[in-house]
Structure 1
Amino acid sequence: MSDPAMFPSVTPRHALPLLFTSQAQKEVFHNEALARIDALLHAAVEGKIDTPPADAESGRAWLVGSAPTGAWIGHENEIALRQSGQWIFATPVAGLRIFDLAAKQFVVFTDAWQKADAVAEPTGGLTVDSEARAAIGALLLALRAASVLPSV
């Protein structure tokens, strides 16, 4: 069993608030944890932007860009979740994978958000092998359909 005196106030990976014995207003901390879980479990964001959208609906999330403005200042590369009229921010951890709805592909966090580059379909050349081109084209379609590569 953990030593209560040494127990942290948040979880190490996603900073989910932890509850303590005799803690007042536990529902506030519990609701904060649920909001973060809602944003990070099977995560999807609307896109990556620097300015908070004025008409953001609760439950929608964005990746904060490298030059944030307004309520997002100081939250570069974080995940901004709109919840009950407030912004909740989550700091990404290495290996976090999120689906970017605008780009229609997954992005992965290392030191910054990374996404796969588009792969050009084969063209030209002196010798054209139609079967190879068809196979490569089918592979590219499958990778795009699986959101491994971005849509063109």
Structure 2
Amino acid sequence: MPDLISDLSANLSLPYLAPAQAQKHVTHNEALALLDALVQLAVASRSAAAPPADPAAGTRYLLPGAASGAWAGQAEGRLALWDGGTWRFLDPAPGWRALVLDEGRALFWDGAAWQEMPLPAQGQTALLGVNAAPDAGNRFAVSSPATLLSHEGAGHQLKINKAAAGETASLLFQTGWSGRAELGCAGADDFVLKVSEDGASWVTALSVAAASGMAHLPQGARVDGALTGTAVVGTVAQVAGGSSGALLEQGSGATGAYLRLADGTQICWHGLTSSASGATGWSFPASFAAPPMVQASCTAGSAHLVSAGAVAAASAEISAWDLTGARAAVSCALLALGRWV
């Protein structure tokens, strides 16, 4: 039995029953009414400036500044309780908590004002372990044969966020808690794949530049399957001495066929019949950047001499002679080798 120095309890100001008190039920009911109002405190709103016209008994509000009507003159932050017949006003104490129903927010009284706090329904917790012990560095820990992350109606994304470009956002693969492979943005915004055989020395196998999307294989690559696509055979190009197109380009026409390599090499070949009356012109199927080396031979045997003259970047003249020194009309095989850049 408390020492009744005061008629009210210390925290909620609930009235005590006095010895030999008449009509004890009145005091007891008053205490129950206050408990009903303050325990599991949930208020209808904290923004209503005036009381509702027909409130239900037990309705509670947190009063805003400059309230009006029956709330006029009450201090901001006080609790207004409709007891079924009149509005009662209560002062919160530091630490009191209230749920604001029309906002879905939880508040606490810091001694001067109501402050927002995370809702327990949001499921926030400092550490979480699933069959594993979390710690300060691994606040979420899972020990399981597998982990399933599935969609809820459509797609699903796993997001790994870092504070700045120089930080790390990656997936680390380990053997016996020693790193063996890392995939992600480690120390920069470029995407990298690194591997290690001991967890100490790391080698970058792949990097993709964030600015251009250009992939780089600094250790090289071994390809045992087929290489296909327009990046293999397509249109070759160079920018500042570096390849910016396909590896190979090929074509053909009435004056022969050609093959261009990404390093700048070009090969042209053709077959024609020389003229007995003079030189025969050969326009290359693809022009060179400078006069190429041209080789010509007779396809009918060794009884004729074939030569190339007047070699230019786009053409050459082909002549054939027999053993008497006279020009001859014979089948010739032609090859030109040079550079297209």
TM-score (norm 2): 0.33
Structure 2 partner of 1:126:
none
Superposition pairs of residues 12-91 of structure 1, within 5 angstroms: 12-48=10-46, 49-76=48-75, 77-91=77-91
Give the match's secondary structure for 1:62: strand
The change in CA–CA distance for 1:25 and 1:89 in structure 2 (over 3 A counts) is farther
Query: Does the 8 A contact of 1:14 with 1:90 survive in 2?
Result: no
Deviation for aligned residue 1:84: 2.2
The change in CA–CA distance for 1:13 and 1:51 in structure 2 (over 3 A counts) is same
Give the match's secondary structure for 2:30: helix
Cα-Cα RMSD? 2.3
Is 1:114 paired with 2:115? yes
Distance 1:25 1:73 in 2: 34
Distance 1:91 1:11 in 2: 14
Query: Does the 8 A contact of 1:47 with 1:101 survive in 2?
Result: yes
Q: Aligned AA for 2:34? A: R
Deviation for aligned residue 1:104: 0.3
Distance 1:13 1:83 in 2: 21
Query: Does the 8 A contact of 2:108 with 2:117 survive in 1?
Result: no
Is 1:132 paired with 2:154? no
Distance 2:114 2:19 in 1: 38
Q: Aligned AA for 2:53? A: A
Query: Does the 8 A contact of 2:58 with 2:83 survive in 1?
Result: yes
Query: Does the 8 A contact of 1:43 with 1:98 survive in 2?
Result: yes
CA radius of gyration, larger in: 2
Deviation for aligned residue 1:116: 4.8
Runs of 4+ in 1 over 3 A off after TM superposition: 1-4
Give the match's secondary structure for 1:17: coil
Distance 1:42 1:96 in 2: 10
Q: Aligned AA for 2:70? A: A
Distance 2:52 2:18 in 1: 36
Distance 1:35 1:74 in 2: 24
Query: Does the 8 A contact of 2:99 with 2:106 survive in 1?
Result: yes
Deviation for aligned residue 1:3: 4.4
Give the match's secondary structure for 2:159: helix
Distance 2:34 2:115 in 1: 22
Structure 1: runs of 5+ lacking an equivalent:
118-128, 134-152
Query: Does the 8 A contact of 2:57 with 2:84 survive in 1?
Result: yes
Q: Aligned AA for 1:75? A: Q
Q: Aligned AA for 1:65? A: P
Is 1:96 paired with 2:96? yes
Give the match's secondary structure for 1:131: coil
Highest relative contact order (Cα 8 Å, sep 6+), 1 or 2? 1
Deviation for aligned residue 1:2: 4.8
Aligned length: 120
* Structure 1 residues 113-143: Cα deviation after superposition (integer angstroms, max 9, x where no partner): 11259xxxxxxxxxxx96136xxxxxxxxxx
Structure with the bigger percentage of helix: 1
Query: Does the 8 A contact of 1:81 with 1:87 survive in 2?
Result: yes
Query: Does the 8 A contact of 1:80 with 1:87 survive in 2?
Result: yes
Structure 2: runs of 5+ lacking an equivalent:
119-156, 162-341
Q: Aligned AA for 1:89? A: F
